């Protein structure tokens, strides 16, 4: 029995050795593998690029047309909001033109409305011709004719009254301007006498200050009083002069035509401005007496006041002309309407009394067609008048400089009263955001990023511990070739301003392009392609099987989202080697 047991044990050992040898040398190979357990996690996708901090956009602003600075609304260092007016030039004449153009629109619309009313009248007349007249209709028409005749007389009288009033009002404005001009030239002459006294006391030599004063005074005397080379004349010689603008004013009093007064206004303004320049040429370094300083300051104030008053009179004349034109036009339209109404009602009465003939009906239809054609023409006139208003409004818009965006004014060259030429730099504006970042996104990543994507920024100057936030504000559609590789210029803007940020700093940028929360994700190397499909290998009961999967977002940390095919807790093979 013992021998039998020993024999069977020996046979079992030999069988095991044989089986082991077979498995090692000729049987199935046993694989080595590594796996992870699928679990839910958060997944983010980022695009990392490098860029450089650059200054914000700067814009230099100028007027399209030259002019005189009328107002300055912001100074260097001020903040400006988008659309804020920064500087304006004088636009009084254009505003007067706008009033006239707007009146033209109203006139054209009134004429169009009258044409529509006339068309309806013509249609009614045709209907009446075709219907025939009744006794009561004839009596009613006689009453309408009488009323229309009275309205016509009233409209004629009103037009005459409006013309008379317009002439009287305009005449008052011109007379007032002439009176102001007379006062202005007298004030200017008195200023030159005061200036001559100061000149005699301090500026009789040929130093720079004396020559400058003499030249400015000569120009003022010639324009105001008509004498040439009077830059060094004394008071007694200047006081007897009466030519130039001074003489033009006196001539206009003897022959006060509108043309003469217009010339007076222009010459007087020019003389006042030359006189102001002469007064302003007195060197501030000169030790004038207290009384002389007071006299000089008083004369400067007087001349400024006279210039303002005369400009006001000129503007009042232009405004009155526009108002007169509008009132007369409206009165003329009313008269025309009254004439048409009287003619139409009288014609209606005659037609009713005579009865309608076939040729009358045909003629009335022709008048209707003519009225319809007239409406089409007047519609075109309304559009033309409206276009004229829009054109003038566009010209007015060019007399102001507005901030194109929210920002900070870094330069302001305008001064009230200064004449600026077209396209001369007036204001510089820097955008409110101080700095932004320019980076080049590789072609492989540009499809992942979009406007408003947020990014984390680290600057080499502060290390990886200091993180700034930014967002994408623009992506250029055209590529930029860098070392033979296509890239796309991407601009990011810092979300918050930080005084530590400097122009030229190198920025390391991580752009968050997508993210998933609480999803199944496995290492990307676990997903393999086979026969055009994506599969993973799962381990279950010590056996490996292949399953088809549907993937989603590829994360920046090497994981990939599994949408279908793997569930939480599955053992996913990430390494497999047969031997």
CA–CA dist 413, 428 (Å, integer) = 9
Residue 516: partners with Cβ closer than 8 Å, 6 or more residues away:
42, 43, 44, 552, 553, 561
Encode burial over 539-554: b for 16+ CB neighbours within 10 A, e otherwise: beeeeeeeeebebbbb
Show Cβ contacts of residue 200 under 8 Å, excluding neighbours closer than 6 positions: 234, 235
Kindly give the confidence (pLDDT) of every residue in the chain, 579 residues in length, as a single tens digit, with 9 standing for 90 and above. 344 434 444 444 444 444 444 444 444 444 688 888 988 889 888 888 999 988 767 788 998 888 999 899 888 888 888 899 989 999 888 899 999 999 999 999 999 999 999 889 988 888 877 776 678 878 888 899 999 999 999 999 999 999 999 999 999 999 999 999 999 999 999 999 999 999 999 999 999 999 999 999 999 999 999 999 999 999 999 999 999 999 999 999 999 999 999 999 999 999 999 999 999 999 878 788 999 999 999 999 999 999 999 999 999 999 999 999 999 999 999 999 999 999 999 987 887 777 667 887 899 889 999 999 999 999 999 999 999 999 998 889 889 999 888 888 988 888 899 998 988 898 988 776 667 898 988 887 888 898 989 999 999 989 899 999 989 988 988 888 887 788 898 988 888 888 888 878 999 998 988 889 989 989 988 898 888 899 999 988 888 888 999 998 888 788 999 998 898 888 899 888 755
The alpha carbon torsion through 13, 18, 24, 28 (nearest 10 deg) reads -110
CB 445 within 8 A of CB 50: no
Which residue from 50, 54, 45 is spatially nearest to 457, judged by alpha carbons? Answer: 50
Residues 6+ apart with CB under 8 A from 471: 452, 453, 454, 455, 492, 493, 495
Distance, in Å, from the CA atom of 385 to the CA atom of 106, rounded to the nearest integer, reads: 9
Helices assigned H by DSSP within 517-578: none
DSSP state of 413: -
CA–CA dist 435, 493 (Å, integer): 7
What 3-state DSSP class applies to 2?
helix
Relative to beta strand 533-540, strand 528-530 is antiparallel
Tokens linked to 261 = 């007064």
By the 10 Å C-beta count (0-12 exposed, 13-18 middle, 19+ buried), 479 is classed as middle
| CA max distance for the chain | 166
Alpha carbon distance, N-terminus to C-terminus of the chain? 44
What is the C-alpha to C-alpha distance for residues 255 and 262, in angstroms, rounded to an integer? 12
Distance of CA 479 to the CA centre of its chain: 31
| pTM: predicted TM-score of the whole model, two decimal places | 0.40
SS3 150: helix
CB 490 within 8 A of CB 441: yes
């Amino acid at each position: 029995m013992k021998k039998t047991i020993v024999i069977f044990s020996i046979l079992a050992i030999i069988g095991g050795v044989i089986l082991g040898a077979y498995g090692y040398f000729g049987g199935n190979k046993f694989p080595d593998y590594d796996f992870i357990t699928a679990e839910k996690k958060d997944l983010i996708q980022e695009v990392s690029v490098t860029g450089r901090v650059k200054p914000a956009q700067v814009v230099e602003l100028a007027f399209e047309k030259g002019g005189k600075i009328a107002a300055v609304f912001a100074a260097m260092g001020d903040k400006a909001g988008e659309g804020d007016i920064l500087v304006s030039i004088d636009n009084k004449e254009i505003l007067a033109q706008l009033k006239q153009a707007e009146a033209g629109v109203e006139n054209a619309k009134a004429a169009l409305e009258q044409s529509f009313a006339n068309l309806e009248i013509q249609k009614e007349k045709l209907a009446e011709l075709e219907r025939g007249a009744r006794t009561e209709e004839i009596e009613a028409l006689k009453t309408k004719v009488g009323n229309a005749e009275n309205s016509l007389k009233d409209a004629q009288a009103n037009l005459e009254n409006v013309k008379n009033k317009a002439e009287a009002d305009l005449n008052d404005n011109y007379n007032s301007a002439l009176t102001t001009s007379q006062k202005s030239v007298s004030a200017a002459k008195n200023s030159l006498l005061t200036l001559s006294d100061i000149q005699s006391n301090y500026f009789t030599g040929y130093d720079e200050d004396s020559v400058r004063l003499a030249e400015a005074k000569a120009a003022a005397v010639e324009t105001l009083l008509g004498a040439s080379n009077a830059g060094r004349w004394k008071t007694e010689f200047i006081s007897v002069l009466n030519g130039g603008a001074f003489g033009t004013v006196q001539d206009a009093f003897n022959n006060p035509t509108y043309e003469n007064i217009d010339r007076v206004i222009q010459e007087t303004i020019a003389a006042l401005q030359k006189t102001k320049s002469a007064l302003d040429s007195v060197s501030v370094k000169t030790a004038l007496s207290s009384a002389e300083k007071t006299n000089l300051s008083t004369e400067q104030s007087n001349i400024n006041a006279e210039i303002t008053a005369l400009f006001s009179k000129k503007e009042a004349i232009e405004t009155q002309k526009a108002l007169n034109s509008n009132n007369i036009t409206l009165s003329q339209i009313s008269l025309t309407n009254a004439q048409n109404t009287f003619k139409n009602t009288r014609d209606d009465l005659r037609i009713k009394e005579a009865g309608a003939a076939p040729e009358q009906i045909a003629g009335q239809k022709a008048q209707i067609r003519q009225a319809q054609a007239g409406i089409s023409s007047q519609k075109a006139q309304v559009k033309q008048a409206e276009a004229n208003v829009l054109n003038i409004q566009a010209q007015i818009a060019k007399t102001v400089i507005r901030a194109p965006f929210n920002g900070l004014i870094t330069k302001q060259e305008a001064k009230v009263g200064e004449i600026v030429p077209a396209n001369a730099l007036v204001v510089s504006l820097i955008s409110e955001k101080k700095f932004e970042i320019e980076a080049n996104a590789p072609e492989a990543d540009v499809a992942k990023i979009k406007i408003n994507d947020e990014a984390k920024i680290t600057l080499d100057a502060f290390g990886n511990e200091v993180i700034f936030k930014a967002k994408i504000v623009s992506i250029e559609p055209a590529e930029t070739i860098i070392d033979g590789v296509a890239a796309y210029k991407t601009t990011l803007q810092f979300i918050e301003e930080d005084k530590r940020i400097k122009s030229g700093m190198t920025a390391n940028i991580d752009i968050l392009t997508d993210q998933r929360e609480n999803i199944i994700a496995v290492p990307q190397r676990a997903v393999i392609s086979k026969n055009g499909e994506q599969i993973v290998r799962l381990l279950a009961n010590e056996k490996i099987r292949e399953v088809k999967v549907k993937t989603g977002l590829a994360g920046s940390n090497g994981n990939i989202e599994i949408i279908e095919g793997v569930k939480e807790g599955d053992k996913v093979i990430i390494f497999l080697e047969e031997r």
